[in-house]
Structure 1
Amino acid sequence: MKTIRTAAVIGSGVMGAGIAAHLANAGIRVRLLDRVPDRLTPQEEASGATTASPAVRNRLATDALARLLKTNPAPFYEERGSRLVTPGNVEDDFESLRDADWIIEAITERLDWKKELLARIERVWTPGTFVSSNTSGISIAAMAEAIAGPMRAFFLGTHFFNPPRHMPLVEIIPGPDTDAEVVTAMRDVLERRLGKGVVVAKDTPNFIANRIGTYGLLATLKLMAEGGYTVDEVDAVTGPALGRPKSATFRTLDLVGLDTFVHVANNVYERTDDPAEKEAFAVPDVLADLVSRGRLGEKTGEGFYKKVKTGQGSRILSLDLATMEYAASVPVRSPSLEAAKSAKGAAAKCRAIVGGTDRLARLAWGVVKHVLVYAADKADEIAGSIADVDAAMKLGFHWELGPFELWDALGLRETAARMEADGMAVPGWVRAWIDAGNESFYARKEGRTAYVRNGAYAEAEERPETISLKALKVWGKTVLSNGGASLIDIGEDVACLEFHSPNNAIGADILTMIRKSAEEVERNYRGLVVANEGRNFCVGANLMLLLMEAQEEEWDEVDRIIRLFQQAMLELKRLGKPVVAAPHRMTLGGGVEVCMAADRVRAHAETYYGLVEAGVGLIPAGGGTKEMALRAAESAGDDEESLQAAINRAFETIGMAKVSGSAPDAVRLGLMRAVDRHVMNRDRQLFEARRTVLELDRDGYAPPGGDGTIRVVGRNGRAVLELGAYTLKEGGYISDHDYTIARKLARVLSGGDVPGGTSVSERHLLDLEREAFLSLCGEPKTQARMQHMLATGKPLRN
């Protein structure tokens, strides 16, 4: 099988362009091709261009690439990734497909057009090249009819979800003649290179996730109409209360686009022979009405919701289905909904709301029972296993529990009995499974996960590169633990320090565990990984505790906390064994400082990384400012101008509380080093971090050397920094308090009141950090910023 180094994407619409961007994120060179425009734009006519001009002929792909750079959320990890994408057209550049290792068809969802394109591709196809269609539901077998020769073995469906960078699911759909090795190889590329969660689907309308997701949304609309529920009520029930995203039902539809959703629903409606299913997928009148009015959701500004601007800012209005007019959203409350909000974890939330007796509980139960029965009825038709169905819904729709996991959480036997009491027919294989004495679809068999398959439990595939801290703790691999963190043996004589405080905020318990873990690893392990399975790696220090101490003017206690933090970071940095940090998603403030103390960082690509203390009126004081000064000195060597330039960049990054848009972007900002790497697949991150520890150990690891001194820019360099901040203040770009913070930051980064070129100790810079931090804690405006962040989650500019 070919190694994927180059690819071609045909079709530069939203999906095609997004796929091209994500291939570039993986370091793959991409040709993005589209048709040749049939007429000039007014701007092209004015410039004297003709339809023969290359810029005109490549315009569609070129414009798509330009849009990618303006799209939010960003399709590229960093802007320079766009250099790997070359725009072109399918007339002048079609022969270039001979050089591609992977050709992806992403044109309009019309079978005749796709077949015509595949026939053309076959004429230039190079043996061994992968060819895939990014269709959301058209039959792969029907498309394959256009392919006459050996390319059939290399053709399959690869259904990316939108946006391709941020949505983890890709459904692979083999064609009737797709080689099994091609499926395996493509799965490996998607998982390892592109970081995707892959599910192999059968060639049925809408495949797995869209089949069940669309059914669930349509069932919800019907229940809404029958029960007279409002848009606000439906979304209150079908979001986090059922273990689903906050976008729930109608915000999801508005995001997808109502016209797009109607197209997806019609794809099943037109292709099913089952009268009951055809009825289920019939588009409700309200949807058809909204589409006919041009109210297509977010892309037109109106759908089930509408954003309006008022003198007090933006407001979200929701649609009144009785009048088809928009009105202010009304808070939704009920005992079952409040019980769900209070419950911990998706399973408990679902049990709370489904088990209630009020009208919102009845809606929740109606949604759940219809989706569970439909998923069970169609599982064998659309997927290879119930585990694939569950994975598809979690990866593609961000459900916390797949249908069969949810059924288990509610109680398999009890839920089936309740369905039957409501007059619903439970699928025969489910009834037979229950009658055989089974209590769940999933089970643990000899320490491994198993699920029902062909009337018996089958072991789930467990890959060695997937390491689960949750499972390791169940298996008794915890070495040390307290309320904020644990040290876990993850195998091969490597331990993992896991944070598990609320939001993984760093407090005294985590700092204590860091120091204890350092001692344990020094004695008994080859190295340490710092990682966790929380939603975010670490949002920083415990701000509430810090604010309370500051408001009480307990300065000795604040000083003690900062000293403890600094000492813990030094012990981590000076540990005689290799330390690798594995951050993911939000990694802010103190979380970044923990990573800076590590020998290497193996971040997930989707890591949003920043020293953001200025946003709450402070500066990094757990070694973060010191580390930025150290890295600036290391990068500059003996050159004074280079050192000042590097310090200027660090000053801007910290002072403006910059946060990276990805792990590669963190390298650009100087928050990570060139030796740090990112991992595309979150499921492999812990494995890769452990492997890095072992590599460092095998290479004869020694702690960071040097004499522990840092060359600084001194008082003259500090003046440069302060002048820059003063200019911004006078220009109205920063506030007086921002300027106060900037001056204190400048003093630390420059090394204090010393001549330029002086070498100072790490301890000297840490003392400056702590002094500045304590001083800022006493500022009323800093305390106001801290209070505002805790109350709203947003920074205050005062």
Structure 2
Amino acid sequence: MSNFIVKKVAVLGAGVMGAQIAAHCVNAKVPVVLFDLPAKPEQGSGGAAQKNSIVLRAIDNLKKLSPAPLGNKDDADLIQAANYEDNLDLLAGCDLVIEAIAERMDWKHDLYKKVSPHLAPHAIFASNTSGLSINTLADGFDDELKSRFCGVHFFNPPRYMHLVELIPTAATRPEILDQLETFLTTTLGKGVVRAKDTPNFIANRVGIFGMLATMHEAEKFGLSVDVVDDLTGAKLGRAKSGTFRTADVVGLDTMGHVIKTMQDNLQDDPFFGIYKTPAVLAQLIEKGALGQKSKAGFYKKVGKDIMRLDFATGEYVAGGAKAADIVGRILKERDPVKKFKAMRESTNPQAQFLWAIFRDAFHYIAVHLESIADNARDVDFAMRWGFGWSTGPFESWQAAGWSTVAQWVKEDIDAGKALCNAPLPAWVFEAPVSEKGVHTPEGSYSPSRKTYVPRSSLPVYQRQEFRAKVAGGGGADPKTFGTTVFEDESVRLWHTGDDVLIFSSKTKLHVIGDGVTKGLRRAIAEAEQNFKGLVIWQPDSMEGGAFSAGADLQSALPAFMTGGAKAMEPLVRELQDTYMAMKYANIPVVAAVAGLALGGGCEMSLHASKRVAALESYIGLVEVGVGLVPAGGGLKECAVRAFAEAKGNDILQFLKVGFTNAAMANVSKSALEAKAMGYLKEDDVIVFNVYELLHVAKTTARSMFDAGYRPPLRRPVQVTGRYGWATIRGQLVNMRDGGFISAYDYHLGDTIAEIVTGGDIDQGSYVSEQWLLDMERRAFIALLANPKTQERIMGMMQNGKPVRN
């Protein structure tokens, strides 16, 4: 396949979605032009800037949004502003043009007439519509443009939501879809699902139906919004906001719009009665209570209290009710077969409600699978990646016993308990599905093809050593796959036969205790002897796990209780020695960072030869939160890097960023920000698709080895000494006296300043790395003996929140 390289993207429409899609392109180093209408003269002043003021406002707004659409706020300025009157010639230089204006067919058609003459002959043209017909949108295109037009539906917010639905027209050329899927997967880091051109496609069709069914059943069983949200949130492995809170966050007007698309286009659907806008939703929209953005919807914040809407009176009343204990126990049952049986047989209305919403979902996806998706896997991925479900609906059904559940659903339909009387399709009860379910190692079932469809074999997926899996669908388990070289309760050392050793820790959140430190030391020795490189990678990082949340305070407690702070010294020394062994190892050590890399986890990555980091990496030295200072070489590295960057200039200027990050426990909000903070180096690699992280890390390690890797030479470090220490201390005194930090925060800041400056020695002195490590270790042990630090540690372990004392 020839390379399809997207050199530039145009986004048409600077609304919420358009601006954020543009932002994510910039995150991925893809140049982007953002278009909107030209502003009217009174909307601004002066020339081109005035004409582009709508877009410029949208770009400015990107810096303020939370969660942040940009990995680095400063990159907002890299988005080029344009308008449809003066700048259509810019489209000729774009390889991909994404339309993201309001969901009005007539508006979209008007815009297409305006832009299509300016599109490059090779450019892919796509609409980010959330539910309009892609074939109808392409009406009026000539055949050539139709062949390179499709739907590309991002989910909000585009940086964080993994799902993108790709929807062809009847005329879209297959290679266009393959090229776009490749770009979306690797460059933008997305999970692509191909959908059929039906209203609201897959995720919104199933997800919005699920929300409507939930509202319908909640009313039937007399459950309040807070109880429903407690039942349908984290307890079901779904977004913790549950159903009604999610509707508030999405916006009740937006939800109303998606429901209207279903009402307008799905009159033949047997579930059409459920697409009626719920009366309570219509009333809220009419009142302008649109959810979070209007400060009232199903919930309303009054002072510090969250009030809930009472359906009976239409008034807001005190909220906070939870699921019944007995139902909570049913949901904790790990065996899905037992769990579903208990839900169905319980007399508790909350349990009956839960069975009802599962039954409704199973009924719906079975009836509609053939028309909305190619196979069952695409429905499960759409719901997991687009709605944040930990388990897709077909996965849940299969895990609970395919044939048994099918029989239960049939009984409910026959008894008139279901939402409509449409029977389950015949394939549900026929072999092979009746025997195997819809997911098997050879593929997932497709009713239209009457066979199991394997995964896409596009070359881009060869970059994913472990692809996202569906339960029952087979695929290698990264926790057991490959050849194990060594394994105990703390670590696993393994490889896949390609000359790179992989180190994975097995502790909760991959915290670092004595077992992990010893395992890492063992991995370095093993890799030096028998491999081209060592990669530190955590298998659960693909599903939102941590790289490492830092030191394991819990496991260190017994040593501390029996021998006091002094007993911790050998453990700290061992950690420092191991990280130094890693820094000066004779083979490249690559840290594959994703998720949290805090404290000792951050220090682990700092000592690697190179870092390959997923975009969503949250890196920082956070020890002051528990009244300690970094003691795994984090402050030492801060001094080393400041000296290297200063290149003969005043080192203190380069030390300030590292000092401030450690003293304030700053954590990067992305890998891009981690570069700006100095936790990642300029030549470290940022990977957008977390499923490609291991591949990139291994390729990096091998290429470094093949290029003749040698560890760095040990060099003395020039420090600022007492001059630098006094300068920083002066600023800390001002902060303490101004009431910005506590006396103990001052003490911790002063301790960090002492270490990064080398302490009470002459300015310009040279010290060894060991000198700085010894300072770190002594300070750490002294602080550990301090009652105020012990207070902070206990507070964090009991409540998970820092104590300010």
**TM-score, normalised via structure 1 length:** 0.93
* Kept in 2: contact 1:504–1:536 (CA 8 A): yes
Do the aligned partners of residues 335 and 728 (structure 1) sit closer, same or farther apart at CA in structure 2, a change above 3 Å counting?
closer
Is the 1:442–1:452 contact (alpha carbons within 8 Å) kept by the matching residues of 2?
no
- How far 1:508 moved relative to its partner? 1.9
For structure 1, which runs of at least 5 residues remain unmatched after alignment?
A: none
The answer on whether the counterparts of 2:134 and 2:150 sit within 8 Å (CA) in structure 1 is yes
Matched, 1:777 2:784: yes
Q: Distance in 2 between matches of 1:354 and 1:621?
A: 54
Structure 2 residue identity aligned to 1:496 = I
How far apart in 1 are the matches of 2:590 and 2:629?
25
1:317-369 CA deviation, whole Å, 9 max, x = no partner? 22221122222224424344332564569999778766755322211111111
Which of 664, 668, 687 is the matching residue for 2:672? 664
- In 1: Cα distance, 2:195 partner to 2:445 partner: 18
Contact 1:578 1:696 in 2 (8 A): yes
Q: State the shift of 1:530 in Å.
A: 0.7
Cα separation, 1, equivalents of 2:53 and 2:350:
51
- Paired residue for 2:508? 502
- CA spacing shift, 1:422–1:344, aligned 2, 3 Å: closer
- Give 1:452 shift: 6.0
SS in 2 for 1:433: coil
For residue 536 of structure 1, what is the amino acid of its counterpart? Answer: A
Matched to 2:717, the amino acid is I
Q: Structure 1 pair 248/101, CA: closer, same or farther in 2 (3 Å)?
A: same
Q: State the match for 1:368 in structure 2.
A: 358
Q: What residue is the counterpart of 1:542 in the other structure? A: 552
Secondary structure in 2 aligned to 1:408?
A: helix
Quote the Cα distance in structure 2 between the aligned partners of 1:349 and 1:609: 39
Query: For residues 765 and 346 of structure 2, what CA distance do their matches in structure 1 show?
Result: 70
Q: 1:626 aligns with which of 636, 642, 666?
A: 636
Q: Is the 8 A contact 2:376 2:439 kept in 1?
A: no
Task: Please tell me whether the aligned partners of residues 402 and 434 of structure 2 are also in contact (alpha carbons under 8 angstroms).
Answer: no
Q: Does 1:297 align with 2:291?
A: yes
Deviation at 1:233, TM superposition (A): 1.6
2:615 to 605, 609, 612: 605
Amino acid paired to 2:508: P
Inter-partner Cα distance in structure 2 for 1:781 and 1:68 = 41
1:427 equivalenced with 2:429 (yes/no): no
Higher mean C-alpha deviation, range 152-161 or range 726-735: 726-735
Q: Distance in 1 between matches of 2:307 and 2:630?
A: 41
1:743-754 equivalent positions in 2, closer than 5 A: 743-754=750-761
Quote the residue 2:738 is aligned against: 731
Instruction: Quote how far apart the aligned CAs of 1:494 are.
Output: 1.2
Question: Please, which runs of 5 or more residues in structure 2 have no aligned partner?
Answer: 415-422, 468-475
Would you say the 8 A contact 1:667–1:674 is kept in 2?
yes
Alignment partner of 1:677 out of 665, 678, 685: 685
Structure 1 distance, partners of 2:561, 2:138, is: 70
1:736-791 deviation line (CA, Å, top 9, x unaligned): 11110011111111122322222222222111111111111122222222222223
Question: Which one of the candidate residues 766, 769, 776 is aligned to 1:762?
Answer: 769
CA apart distance, 1:211: 0.4
SS at match of 1:701: coil
Letter in 2 for 1:787: M
Task: Give the 3 Å change call, closer, same or farther, for CA 460–351 of structure 1 in structure 2.
Answer: farther
Deviations 1:151-179 (A, max 9, x none): 22211111111111111111111122111
Q: Is structure 2 residue 161 aligned with structure 1 residue 161?
A: no
2:582 counterpart SS class: helix
Q: Which of 785-794 and 624-633 deviates more?
A: 785-794
What's the counterpart of residue 455 of structure 2? 460
Q: How far off is 1:567 after superposition?
A: 2.1
Alignment of 1:690-701 (within 5 A): 690-701=698-709
SS in 2 for 1:696: helix
Asked if the contact 2:133–2:197 (Cα under 8 Å) also holds between the matched residues in 1, the reply is yes
Counterparts of 1:575 and 1:505, CA distance in 2? 23
> How many angstroms apart in 2 are the aligned matches of 1:37 and 1:346?
57
Alpha-carbon spacing, 1:560–1:307, altered in 2? closer, same or farther (3 Å):
farther
1:393-451 Cα offsets, whole Å, 9 max, x none, are: 111001111111111221112211222232353322111136x7513322235xxx665
Q: Does 1:174 align with 2:174?
A: no
Match of residue 651 from structure 1: 659
Secondary structure of the residue aligned to 2:293 is coil
Residue of structure 2 equivalent to 1:222: 216
**2:582 equivalent to 1:582:** no
1:119 maps to 2:119:
no
Cα distance between partner residues in 2 of 1:531 and 1:2: 30
Q: What's 1:483 paired with? A: 489
Q: Which amino acid is 1:26 matched to?
A: A
1:637 CA displacement: 2.6
Residues 759, 340 of structure 1: CA spacing in aligned structure 2 closer, same or farther, 3 A cutoff? farther
Amino acid at match of 2:454: E
Matching residue of 1:269: 263
Is the deviation greater in 547-556 or in 136-145? 547-556
Give the counterpart letter for 1:603 in structure 2: A
- Distance in 2, matches of 1:345 and 1:644, equals 59
Equivalent residue in structure 2 for 1:438, among 435, 438, 444: 435
Distance 1:778 1:348 in 2: 50
Please report how far the alpha carbon of residue 202 of structure 1 lies from its aligned counterpart in structure 2 after TM superposition.
Answer: 0.8
Pairwise CA distance, 1:69:
1.0
Residue 350 and residue 484 in structure 1: after superposition, are their counterparts in 2 closer, same or farther (change >3 A)?
farther
CA 1:472–1:54: 2 relative to 1, 3 Å: closer
Can you list the C-alpha shifts for 1:688-726, whole angstroms capped at 9, x where unaligned? Answer: 11110111111112222234x322222222112212211
Alpha-carbon distance change, 322 to 188 in structure 1, aligned in 2, over 3 angstroms? same
Say if 1:339 and 1:352, in contact at 8 Å, map to a contact too. no
> How many residue pairs align between the two structures?
779
CA contact (8 A) 1:336 1:353 kept: no
Match of 1:422, SS state, is: helix
- Name the CA distance, whole Å, in 1 between partners of 2:446 and 2:130: 28
Listed one character per residue, the Cα deviations across residues 438-491 of structure 1 (whole Å, up to 9, x for unaligned) are 13322235xxx6656644434334632112396244445333222232122134
CA distance in 2, matches of 1:651, 1:456: 60
Q: Partners in 2 of 1:67 and 1:634 — Cα distance?
A: 37
Task: Assess if the C-alpha contact under 8 Å between 2:164 and 2:191 holds in 1.
Answer: yes
Q: State the Cα deviation string for residues 270-324 of structure 1 (Å, max 9, x = none).
A: 1013252211211111111111111111001111112222xxxx22222221122
Match of 2:317 in 1: 327
CA distance in 2 between counterparts of 1:233 and 1:92 reads 54
Give the 3 Å change call, closer, same or farther, for CA 356–244 of structure 1 in structure 2: farther
1:254·1:296 contact (CA, 8 Å) conserved in 2?
A: yes
> SS of the counterpart of 2:792?
helix
Q: In 2 relative to 1, CA 149–341 (structure 1 residues): closer, same or farther, beyond 3 Å? A: closer
Counterpart-to-counterpart distance in 1, 2:251 and 2:335: 30
- For 1:384, the equivalent position in structure 2 comes to 374
The 2-side partners of 1:678 and 1:124 are apart by 34
Name which of 63, 69, 72 aligns with 1:69: 63
Q: Percent identity?
A: 36
User: Which residue of 525, 528, 535 maps to 1:522?
Assistant: 528
